[in-house]
Amino acid sequence: MRNVAIYPGSFDPITCGHVDIVQRGLNVFDRIVVAIAVNPRKQTTFDDDERVAMICEAFPDDPRVEVVCFTGLLVDYCRRRGIKTVLRGLRALSDFEFEFQLASMNRRLTDEVDSIFMMTSDEHFFVSSSLVREVVQNGGDVTGLVPEPVRRRLLARFPPPPVT
């Protein structure tokens, strides 16, 4: 499956930075599999079903985008599905170091799967799921940083603090 890429991550929750990578990825690949890495030992703000729902809401009725959850090694999941390409986004130098390590480890595990990277857009270089959660938890506005349905779910999860 050469025209398919897998875009793995935590997506807790999906942000406009992630959406941008998927949209631009679709200029290169026919299909993108957005794959939520499920780690039972890692506490997340949104459970698997909520994270799947939020990604589906971000790409309504687009048959080119598939959303899945996987456990275990990404390369094993790719092999099971016959997927050869991993798509990742790069924001800053700090991302580069981690992504370089991850891609090198994956190549060490298998030569059947390779990684490609897309640079973040100007509007999204500072956007991360963790920072977005922190801003909302402290009553800040994340309009335009996450898809609107995600913003609503964040507000429901972290109601604004009373003004003092």
Q: Given the rule CB under 6 A, which residues bind ligand ADP?
A: 9-11, 15, 17-18, 21, 88-89, 91, 95, 120, 124, 127-129
CA 58 to mean position of chain CA atoms: 12
- The number of C-alpha atoms within 13 Å of 2 and in the hemisphere containing its C-beta is 0
Angle at CA 92, nearest 5°, toward 36 and 75?
35
Q: Which of 10, 51, 124, 129 is catalytic?
A: 129
For residues 23 and 15, give the distance between their C-alpha atoms in angstroms, rounded to a whole number. Answer: 12
Q: Which of 79, 81, 91, 157 is catalytic?
A: 91
CB of 38 to ligand ADP, least distance (A): 12
Q: Tell me the closest approach of the beta carbon of residue 81 to ligand ADP, in angstroms.
A: 18
Name the minimum Å distance from CB 164 to ligand ADP. Answer: 32
Tokens of 43: 């506490």
Check if 129 is active-site: yes
Phi, psi of 82 (to 5 degrees): 70, 25
In the annotation, is 18 catalytic?
yes
Which residues participate in catalysis according to the annotation? 18, 42, 91, 129
